[in-house]
Structure 1
Amino acid sequence: MGSFRPGDPRQVQDLFEQIAPRYDLLNDLLSLGQHRLWKRQAIAWLRPRPGQILLDLCCGTGDLALVMAAAVRPGGRVIGLDAAAAPLRLAAARAALQPWLPLQWLQADALATGLDAGMAHGVTMAYGLRNLADPGAGLAEVLRLLRPGGRAAVLDFNRADATKLQGRITARVQRLCLRGVVVPAATLAGLREHYAYLEASLERFPTGAALVEQALELGFRQARHRPLAGGLMGLLELQA
């Protein structure tokens, strides 16, 4: 395993500061571009409309926020928030090419955003919940930020249920992909430890069923977890 410790806010921030310049290229290569389709499915659950205020937590280089910003015009706004500065600089540079998009970038902790309660019609988080020190607290902050009836979409790797045969098969395929494809490819880019971190972070991540249960206990009115990519990824669909 790599030397980055899952759940350690400083180490996770350092990881994303370091991989930011090659993050988008590696995502495209390693998913064969499929991550863009998964993110579109997350946005589809939000049903963004003109005039809405949307929030993209752990926004990284801003691909989700850019798409959503086009959907909330006119009169709406999208705030992209991330703890790491390097991805935000790349996001701002991308947004500068489309200055008509209503975008705002904010460097902050997704567990303590400092934003007003009930300010968002919708919230997205792609590949961020798993990296938080406390995923449950992350879901609680999402609920706090949403206005009643607002929707949230949380996209991430799927932690397969090892108590079921299908889950064990999925987990094995996932490990083979990470160890046999992802880490070797990242090694060529000089990022072996950064991507070896993925498997370690997944080991502490709740299953889809556990995330649904936790979300309902927190007070979400609706929660559903949809496996994507044959169960390798998962989309948690929430409504406040």
Structure 2
Amino acid sequence: MATPNPEHVRDLFESIAPHYDRLNDLLSLGIHRLWKRQAVAWIRPRPGQRLLDLCCGTGDLALVLASRVRPGGLVLGLDAAEAPLAIARRRAARQGWLPLQWRQGDALATGLADGWADGAVMAYGLRNLPDPAAGLAELRRLLRPGGRAAVLDFNRPEPASLPAAFQRFYLRRLVVPAAGAMGLTEQYAYLEGSLARFPTAPAQEALARSVGFSRARHRPLAGGLMGLLELVA
């Protein structure tokens, strides 16, 4: 199956950025905030830490992290698309006391130094990278020894399972029509195809260990529709 085209993915997120947060709230009934809180809880942010939000989108996770690393800490949000970053910057400007920086860049080649981060998060980004293994390798390189990372994304359940059937129903009957009402049918129809090529939970754990993580556990969320990959460098 073809890998995601980075330019296509970037253009997709450029186009959906103005509606992204509203659709997330609508389609998850706001529960995505709970899943993200679980990601934050795993990495245990503390004052003075330097944290990284890869594929940060409109910055909601980075804002939460920045509130936890004061004083003396820093959160860097990195994303390939400029439109979501522009929204993130505007949101951060309303809380100018938070220690935040934003950068447009490639999650596979961030240009940051080895061991730059004490911890990291990636929400709904790994699935959209052309090479998830390379994304995990870059994530591992960026973490200091013992640093934690949380990777939140859709789960890929067994094809014949009840969660898989519900996931197909959810994507085809709820997500795509809701996005279509905002003129984004094609952009959200992409979701199901991206899941078909996404590594399964056991494969994600194996990939993470193969690139040097000392601990990798994939935890299903929302009855198996979502998943949280918990990592220790």
| TM-score of the alignment, normalized to the shorter chain, above 0.5 | yes
Per-residue CA deviations over 1:60-107 (Å, capped at 9, x if unaligned) read 000000000000000000000000000000000000000000000000
1:203 aligns with 2:200: no
Match of 1:228 in 2: 221
Q: In 2, Cα distance between the equivalents of 1:19 and 1:69?
A: 25
Amino acid at match of 2:191: L
Asked if 1:129 corresponds to 2:122, the answer is no
Give RMSD over aligned pairs: 0.9
What amino acid does structure 2 have at the position aligned with 1:11? H
Q: Does the Cα contact within 8 Å between 1:6 and 1:12 map onto a contact in 2? A: no
Aligned to 2:20: 23
Q: Secondary structure at the match of 1:116?
A: coil
SS of the residue corresponding to residue 196 of structure 1 reads helix
- 2:3–2:131 contact (8 Å) kept in structure 1: no
Question: Following TM superposition, where does structure 1 have runs of at least 4 consecutive aligned residues deviating by more than 3 angstroms?
Answer: none
> How many residue pairs get matched?
232
Shift of 1:6: 5.5
Whether the 8 Å CA contact 1:209–1:225 is kept in 2: the answer is yes
Structure 1: give runs of 5+ residues left out of the alignment: none
Counterpart CA distance in 1 for 2:32 and 2:199 is 21
Q: Does 1:172 align with 2:162?
A: no
- Unaligned 5+ runs, structure 2: none
- TM-score, with structure 1 as normaliser: 0.95
Alpha-carbon shift at residue 169 of structure 1 (Å):
1.5
Distance 1:147 1:204 in 2: 30
- Tell me, in whole angstroms, the C-alpha distance in 2 between the residues paired with 1:34 and 1:127: 15
Paired-residue identity, % = 70
Q: Determine the structure 2 residue equivalent to 1:119.
A: 116
The CA distance in 2 between the partners of 1:214 and 1:81, in whole Å, is 22
Deviation at 1:161, TM superposition (A): 2.8
Structure 2-normalised TM-score?
0.98
Structure-1 residue corresponding to 2:181: 188
Residue 216 of structure 2 aligns to a residue whose secondary structure is strand
Distance 1:120 1:49 in 2: 13
Amino acid at match of 1:136: A
The 5-angstrom pairing of residues 57-96 of structure 1 reads 57-96=54-93
Question: Equivalences for 1:3-22 in 2 at 5 Å?
Answer: 7-22=4-19
Partner of 2:209: 216
